[in-house]
Structure 1
Amino acid sequence: MTSLSLLLSLSLLSLFLSPAICLTCTSQKFTNKVYANCIDLPYLGAYLHYTYNASNSSLAIAYLAAPAPSGEWVSWAINPVGTGMIGAQALMALKLDDGSLAAKTYNCNSYMAITESKLSFEVWDLSADQENGMMRVFASVKVPKNATSVNQVWNVGGTVITNQPQIHPLAPANREAKGKLMLNGGGGMGPATAPAPGPSNDGWRMNRNDAGFFMSLIFFIGVIMV
């Protein structure tokens, strides 16, 4: 009976901890791409890998996120004029009407609609793919010379109609998906804010309190079975 309870406890531990371990940027690998830094972004279950090159003031990025339920796009942006959506210059992966995946650039000049256009800074090596349920955007962008940080905004979308991305969900997490990206790493983002309460599209992540609860639960089950 003791062996059975131990086996059950270990199985439950694996069940609860495996998603938390897998859903971190450090576990993600790319073919022929290596980045100096990565961040588990605090909202929407998204991840950013990046390398800053001071010699040519460029930033190479890989942005990963799962679309919202029934959604068909994900995006990551730099806002050179503010901290929110308006003015953001976005790199987007979206599913087109023919089912293919495309990478495009958008100027976010309205809360209700965005315009496909060239961005206010240079972009190259832009591409997108999909793996393990996540859309991935790859690109290199020009950043201001001697910059130490940029304002980033990210989101996961709703539908795409006639190849035009529609508005994303308006849950608290979608509205709070922004922050300062420190180009040389050192923690990645500026002062973090706690994820907003309420419904959201956040990926499931285990914090210390969750881990303590599940460990206690597993121990309790083991004691009962003994």
Structure 2
Amino acid sequence: MPIKISEMGKIFGVLFCILISNLASSYAQQNCNNYAFSRNTIYATCVSLPVLNSHLHWNYHSSNSTVDLAFRHTGSDTSQWVAWALNINGQGMVGAQALVAVTGSNGSVQAYTSSVTSYSTGLQPSPLSFDVPSLTAERVNGDVVIYATLVLPRGGTRFNQVWQVGPVYNGAPGMHGLGADNRMSIGSVDFVSGETSAGGNA
């Protein structure tokens, strides 16, 4: 039975969408893997997160259950904060153990940790439930990069993750947007397999 022209158009449309999606994914992965850090650090694993122009790079050390990581947000504005977090006991923002970088109007970047205990958080500096022996941040060519070493809690390797971006008012983080990308910036990360998810889906 011959295929109608309208049906062929639909088939070509689907194939075209798949092709564009694959090309976009390939480009994002190349952008992730080919990024040259100012410290010349090489990370074994890199994942381009699907929303908020963000990338996660890391080296996992099984001998002492630590991770050296870099969280990178591209195209960052001045007077903006970015954050990446693990939520080891749940999903979403509440309970997140966050690494925060706040960019001032002069371009300087301050990095600190913040344990999120409620939805009304102002991302105030506070200790996390696990050790962070090293934490710094920088702004390079419009990218904000958070560098950290984490001692993974309970020796685990798979956790829920959250990342977010928002404005800075008078030197302090303000409320982030509530658009689709902001609401989809949750998921999971496995530091051994390199598998990640987003949008709350495994």
**TM-score class, shorter:** 0.7 to 0.9
Q: 2:184 corresponds to which residue?
A: 176
Q: Is the 8 A contact 1:67 1:73 kept in 2?
A: no
**Matching of residues 181-220 of structure 1 within 5 Å:** 181-186=189-194, 188-190=195-197
- Give the structure 2 partner of residue 65 of structure 1: 73
TM-score relative to the length of structure 1: 0.69
Instruction: Provide the C-alpha distance between the structure 2 equivalents of 1:120 and 1:146, rounded to a whole number of angstroms.
Output: 13
Amino acid at match of 1:131: V
Structure 2's unaligned 5+ residue stretches are 1-22
- Counterparts of 2:148 and 2:157, CA distance in 1: 19
In 1, distance between residues paired with 2:200 and 2:156?
26
Between 1 and 2, higher relative CO (CA 8 Å, sep ≥ 6) is seen in: 1
State the 1:59 CA deviation: 1.2
C-alpha separation between the residues in 2 aligned to 1:100 and 1:68? 13
* TM-score normalised per structure 2: 0.76
Provide the aligned length of Structure 1 versus Structure 2.
175
Could you give the per-residue CA deviations for residues 59-93 of structure 1, whole angstroms, max 9, x where no partner exists? Answer: 11100113666751111001112110001011011
Which amino acid letter does the alignment assign opposite residue 80 of structure 1?
I
Distance in 2 (CA, whole Å) between partners of 1:99 and 1:131 is 10
Task: Say yes or no: does 1:26 pair with 2:33.
Answer: yes
1:126-156 residue CA offsets vs partner (Å, 9 max, x unmatched): 1111112111100001112441301110011
| Contact 1:46–1:66 (8 Å) recurs in 2 | yes
Aligned to 2:131: 122
Deviations 1:21-74 (A, max 9, x none): 477211212223111100010111100001111111111110011366675111
**Percent identity of equivalent pairs:** 37
Q: State the one-letter code of the partner of 1:154.
A: W
Please tell me whether the aligned partners of residues 39 and 49 of structure 1 are also in contact (alpha carbons under 8 angstroms): yes
- The aligned runs of 1:41-120 (5 Å cut-off) are 41-66=49-74, 72-96=80-104, 99-113=107-121, 114-120=123-129
Residue aligning to 2:144: 135
Task: Please say if residues 53 and 75 of structure 2, whose CA atoms lie closer than 8 Å, have aligned partners that are also in contact.
Answer: no
Distance in 1 between residues matched to 2:188 and 2:200, nearest whole Å: 15
